[in-house]
Amino acid sequence: MIEIGLKHTSELTVNEALTAIQMGSGDMPVLATPAMMALMENAAMLAVADELPEGCTTVGGHIESSHLKPSKIGDKVSAIAEVTKVEGKKIEFKVSAYSGEALLGEGTHLRFIVDRERFMSKLG
């Protein structure tokens, strides 16, 4: 059962592939905002993964976050996701990202519980 307060932390080390230059979201060799937000989504997905019914997963529906500070290649970044609300198949999270003690960004994320097979069958 998915409960308010479930949490997970995901981590990465900034490398060339995760920079704004490589991801096309900017022109500097710093952690790309899309990479930071993907790490937040990963933390949210993993926060609830073990509590889902067999054959189910979660998919992202909305994410909103600030990106307050840059991170250079070699920096370790962690993202924390915490369940704040559960309403049927809808799960809301508070998400934040850090490099050491420095807050890089924070916001909210919405995920939906879906049946894997049914979801994939909609692709035609």
Q: Are 80 and 39 in contact (CB under 8 A)?
A: no
Walking along the chain (124 residues) 10 residues at a time, the average pLDDT comes out as 96 98 98 98 98 97 98 98 98 98 98 97 91
> What's the CA gap between 90 and 79, in Å, rounded?
21
Provide the pLDDT for residue 1: 86
The DSSP string of the chain is ---TT-EEEEEEE--GGGBHHHHTS-SSSBB-HHHHHHHHHHHHHHHHGGGSPTTEEEEEEEEEE---S--BTT-EEEEEEEEEEEETTEEEEEEEEEETTEEEEEEEEEEEEEEHHHHHHTT-
pLDDT at 104: 98
> What's the predicted TM-score (pTM) here?
0.96
pLDDT value for 124 = 81
Tokens, residue 95: 């998400």
